[in-house]
Chains A and B, each alone.
Chain A
Amino acid sequence: MPSSSPVLSAAQRASFYWFDDGLPTLLTGVACLLMAFSLLYPHSGGSNLLSAVVALVSIVLYGLLLIRQREILDWLKSRITYPRTGYVSPPYSLKDANLPLGLTSLSLPGSETSHPDERDRSRQVSFMIAIALAVGLPIFFFSNPWLCLVSGFLTSAALWFGLRYIQRVSWILLAGFPLLGLAMLLFLPRYIDGPARVAWFLAGTGVILIVEGTVALLRYLQNNPLRRQTEK
């Protein structure tokens, strides 16, 4: 079937639709921030007990978000999205529901509907994981601040090449990561260790995703005011 077939375009529109309201992006941002907190607090130099408690709470909340992501998203969407623009099954199957946040958004559409581009998407997931490692490992192991800037540009390029067929990639994401890299180059002290550098990058990623999700949500709410339910 050619890539422009109505069935494939309907599948792609359904896939885009899942991200239109910004909620998956917002949740992924929150998850990134929680993960960053749990990594950062042991390095914050505060009292040991407080650091441990904050790290523990962050880890628990992150775990909760990870395990219950489908339910949380469904709960939010049933209050915000479905009454406005309707429900369509998410672009990942139920068996993928326990994948980490962010990765689920890259995985495949419903398992019962096998689309010709299924393998392509699978490759895209592998590509994104490879890029995450390619960005994370150098920041972790090498303290050269220029690496942060390179990682920022790399992440931005990876998002563009890896996600553009699955969801709309906004300028906030594309510009945000190079800016994050630049901020880390300029403001991050050189003496902090690998986990803290990764945590700061993760925190910046969380902030970018939250901004992106919030803008998308506001735009969605503005374009789709709540209408009266009159269906028969």
Chain B
Amino acid sequence: MSGNGIKDLSLLDRVIHEPARLMIMAILFAVEEADFVYLQRECGLTQGNLSSHLSKLEEVGYLTITKTFKGKYPLTICKLTRKGREAFDGYSTKMRFVTDPPNHPKE
């Protein structure tokens, strides 16, 4: 962060800051790719809710959604883009700075 103190919090990425989207980003950051059913199961979101959050993340270019088939089973595979990966990385760095700044006195 630039060092403007509490005002820096306003620079947090609002797209990622939303809890449901943060969950989706965290899961996709951890795994290479996952499909809709897996994400729904892990996040505990409804289909409509998950769909709208995925669309929002896709809109800003943080993830790609690919419809494909594994055998006869249709898969909606979600994968973070490089931009999404960098955005999540930046977000988590900023959050770490907020919760545990470098000059925080340690016991």
Interface residues in chain A, defined as those with a beta carbon under 8 Å from any beta carbon in chain B: 6-8, 10-11, 13-14, 17, 74-75, 77-79, 82-83, 85-89, 109-110, 112-113, 115, 229-232
B51 to chain A, nearest CB (A): 6
Query: When the two chains form their complex, are residues B73 and A79 in contact, meaning their CB atoms are under 8 A apart?
Result: yes
Taking the complex as formed, is B70 at the interface, i.e. its CB lies under 8 A from any CB of chain A?
yes
Of B42, B75, B76, B92, the contact of A10 (CB 8 Å cutoff) = B42
Contact flag A89-B70 (CB < 8 Å), given A7-B26, A231-B47:
no
- Chain B contact-residue range equals 20 to 34
Known: A229-B74, A232-B51. A85 touches B26 (CB 8 A): no
A11 shortest CB reach to chain B, Å: 4
Closest to A94 in B: B32
* Bound CA–CA A123/B92 (angstroms): 28
Say whether B35 contacts A78, CB under 8 Å.
no
Pair A10/B31 contact, Cβ less than 8 Å: yes
Give the interface SS of chain B, mostly helix, strand, loop or mixed.
Answer: helix
**Bound Cα distance from A89 to B35, whole angstroms:** 9
Nearest A residue to B69, CB-CB: A78
Q: How far is the CA of A7 from the CA of B29 in the complex (A)?
A: 7
B20 adjacent to chain A (CB < 8 Å): no
Chain A interface main SS type: helix
Give the chain B neighbours of A11 by CB distance below 8 A: 30-31
Residues of B within 8 A of A74 (CB): 70
Quick one: given A87-B77, A230-B47, are A112 and B32 in contact (CB under 8 Å)?
A: yes
Q: What residues of A have a CB within 8 angstroms of the CB of B75 in the complex?
A: 82, 87
Residues of A within 8 A of B41 (CB): 85-86
A-B contact pairs, 24 of them (CB 8 A): A6-B26, A8-B30, A10-B42, A74-B70, A78-B72, A78-B73, A82-B37, A82-B75, A85-B37, A85-B38, A86-B38, A86-B41, A87-B34, A87-B70, A87-B77, A88-B35, A109-B31, A112-B32, A113-B29, A113-B30, A113-B31, A230-B47, A231-B47, A232-B48
Q: How far is the CB of B36 from chain A (nearest CB, A)?
A: 5
User: Given the known A-B contacts A6-B26, A86-B38, are A110 and B31 also in contact in the complex, defined by CB atoms under 8 Å?
Assistant: yes
Contact of B32 among A89, A230, A231 (CB under 8 A): A89
- B46 CB to nearest chain A CB (Å): 11
Structural contact, A82 and B35, CB atoms closer than 8 A: yes
CA–CA, A110 and B47, complex, Å: 27
In angstroms, Cα B39 to Cα A130, docked, is 37
Contacts of A231 in B (CB 8 A): 36-37, 40, 47, 51, 76
